[in-house]
């Protein structure tokens, strides 16, 4: 679905999955996201894309 792209292909996590994890765990950094929901922890190729999400949410 174009409105909810898969960001982490290793874990099949969409942008909305990552946003939900950020909100649930109070993530402020990409490291927080990796620790909380393991997005980016397998191959790491999506780290740059993941970084944009907490930045957008947290200003």
Compute the distance between CA of residue 19 and CA of residue 30 in angstroms, rounded to an integer. 12
d(CA 47, CA 27): 14
- Which tens digit of pLDDT belongs to each residue from 5-52? 999 999 999 999 999 999 999 999 999 999 999 999 999 999 999 998
Q: pLDDT-based confidence at 2, cuts 50/70/90?
A: low
As a whole number of angstroms, the distance between CA 27 and CA 37 comes to 10
pTM, two decimal places:
0.89
Instruction: Assign domain 6-58 to its CATH architecture.
Output: Orthogonal Bundle (1.10)
The partner residues of 8 in beta bridges, in order of sequence, read 13
CB 33 within 8 A of CB 54: yes
């Amino acid at each position: 679905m174009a409105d909810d792209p898969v960001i982490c292909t290793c874990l099949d996590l969409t942008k909305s999955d990552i946003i939900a994890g950020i909100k649930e765990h109070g993530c402020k950094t990409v490291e927080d996201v990796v620790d909380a929901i393991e997005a980016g922890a397998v191959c790491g190729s999506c780290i740059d894309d993941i970084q944009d999400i907490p930045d957008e949410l947290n200003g």
